[in-house]
């Protein structure tokens, strides 16, 4: 079966546990994979194994070895990432494996970088007969509005309608930017906010200014922002962690997987600063900082044993590390 990402929910229960996710919209692909994982967890798939390009030769053995479940009797999700080029033989061979559809203890999710498929090719026909192919391509304008409104299900109906119009008007055609705005709203939205504006509209510094100053390598200005927000709006600590995490994840994607910055949702006028920033911050350093962001995220939620003062100090240390050579 083939379905569009926006109608995935209707098809999940009708499919076997083999999924192929493809298309040009990164956000829709990520959301589709998350949806599939959530569905499988409800079906008692409790373990996950991830296979990347360097391990393609292990795919067949991993499927066979886990066909009857893990050593502990649990059901397993095998997620295969395909980043570039044509679909390799190691992946298309899966569709020719004998009784693959009957391996009830395994679920396969293949997330591919290909944007289009040829329905007449052998492997596509086989995959179509075995499981579910999820197409994640650019949405039409009316589909975009519906998609954004559905993502705002944490709001009341009237606010969701108002914010969906605002987001799609400002970021028309850019799902990554829209997703970023939705993530910010998840952290800042309050139904009691009478003017229905994001709570930091009247702050001395706006949290999202931190991104610009970090990628500009402007340590002094970036620290002014964090110190001002700590003093006046310290409840936005989790939002600052999210912004820093976004910067680091974007750079890791560029350095590790050669992800196009514009496709990653970076505005064209910010790309030169991002490129310079990436040159100054090697992959090894960014991977270490990814772990630090995770620790800060826990601390911002009152977990991990860090005091509030320690949290803000570590946040400043992170800013200094990112902006200094």
Residue 230, pLDDT score? 84
User: Which pLDDT belongs to residue 196?
Assistant: 45
- pLDDT tens for 77-93 read 989 988 888 888 999 88
Give 51-78 pLDDT, tens digit per residue: 888 888 888 888 888 776 555 667 889 8
Rounded alpha-carbon distances, angstroms, from residue 303 to 163, 287, 311: 31, 22, 11
CA gap 118, 14 in Å, rounded: 23
Bridge-based pairing of strands 45-51 and 75-82 is parallel
Q: Give the pLDDT score at 202.
A: 36
pLDDT at 69: 56
CA distance linking residue 131 with residue 148, whole number of Å: 28
Beta bridge partners of 18: 108
With helix as H, strand as E and coil as C, how does 251-299 read? Answer: HHHHHHHCCCCCCCCCCHHHHHHHHHHHHHCCHHHHHHHHHHHHHHHHH
Question: What domains, with CATH codes, occur in the chain?
Answer: 2-135 (3.40.50.300), 141-323 (no CATH)
Determine what percent of the chain is predicted with pLDDT higher than 90.
20
pTM, entire model: 0.59
- pLDDT at site 214: 94
pLDDT of residue 247: 92
According to the model, what pLDDT value does residue 193 have? 54
Which residue ranges of the chain lie beneath pLDDT 70?
68-73, 190-205, 233, 325
pLDDT at 215: 93
Q: For residues 36, 42, 45 and 47, what is the CA-based torsion angle, rounded to 10 degrees?
A: 80
Six-digit token string for 139: 């949405």
Query: Taking a C-beta distance cutoff of 8 angstroms, is the pair 132, 3 a contact?
Result: yes
CA gap 238, 255 in Å, rounded: 26
Nearest to 176 by CA among 259, 235, 97, 240: 259
Query: What order do you get walking across the sheet with 45-51 strand by strand?
Result: 2-4, 132-135, 18-22, 106-112, 75-82, 45-51
How confident is the model at residue 98, as a pLDDT? 80
Per-residue pLDDT, 300: 82
Arithmetic mean of pLDDT over the chain:
84
């Amino acid at each position: 079966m083939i379905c569009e990402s926006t109608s995935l929910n209707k098809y999940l229960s009708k499919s076997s546990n083999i999924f192929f996710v493809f298309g040009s919209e990164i956000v829709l692909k990520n959301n589709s994979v998350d949806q599939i994982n959530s569905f499988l967890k409800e079906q008692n798939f409790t373990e996950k194994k991830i296979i990347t390009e360097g391990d393609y030769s292990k795919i067949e053995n991993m499927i066979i070895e886990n066909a009857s479940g893990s050593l502990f009797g649990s059901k397993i999700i095998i997620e295969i990432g395909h980043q570039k080029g044509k679909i390799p033989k190691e992946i298309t061979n899966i569709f020719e494996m004998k009784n693959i559809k009957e391996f009830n203890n395994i679920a396969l999710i293949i997330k591919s970088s290909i944007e289009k498929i040829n329905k007449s090719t052998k492997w596509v026909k086989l995959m179509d007969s075995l499981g579910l192919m999820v197409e994640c391509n650019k949405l039409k304008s009316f589909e975009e509005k519906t998609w954004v409104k559905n993502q705002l299900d944490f709001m009341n109906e009237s606010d969701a309608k108002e914010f969906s119009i605002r987001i799609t008007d400002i970021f028309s055609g850019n799902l990554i930017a829209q997703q970023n705005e939705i993530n910010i709203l998840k952290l800042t939205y309050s139904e009691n906010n009478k003017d229905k504006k994001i709570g930091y509209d009247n702050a001395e510094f706006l949290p999202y200014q931190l991104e610009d100053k970090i990628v500009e390598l402007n340590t002094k200005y970036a620290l002014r922002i964090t110190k001002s927000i700590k003093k006046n709006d310290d409840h936005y600590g989790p939002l600052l962690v999210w912004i820093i995490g976004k910067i680091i994840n974007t750079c890791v994607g560029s350095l590790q997987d050669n992800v196009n910055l514009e496709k990653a949702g970076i505005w064209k006028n910010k790309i030169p600063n991002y490129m310079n920033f990436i040159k100054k911050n090697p992959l090894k350093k960014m991977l270490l900082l990814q772990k630090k962001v995770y620790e800060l995220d826990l601390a911002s939620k009152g977990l991990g044993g860090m005091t509030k003062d320690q949290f803000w100090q570590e946040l400043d240390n992170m800013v200094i590390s990112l902006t200094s050579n």
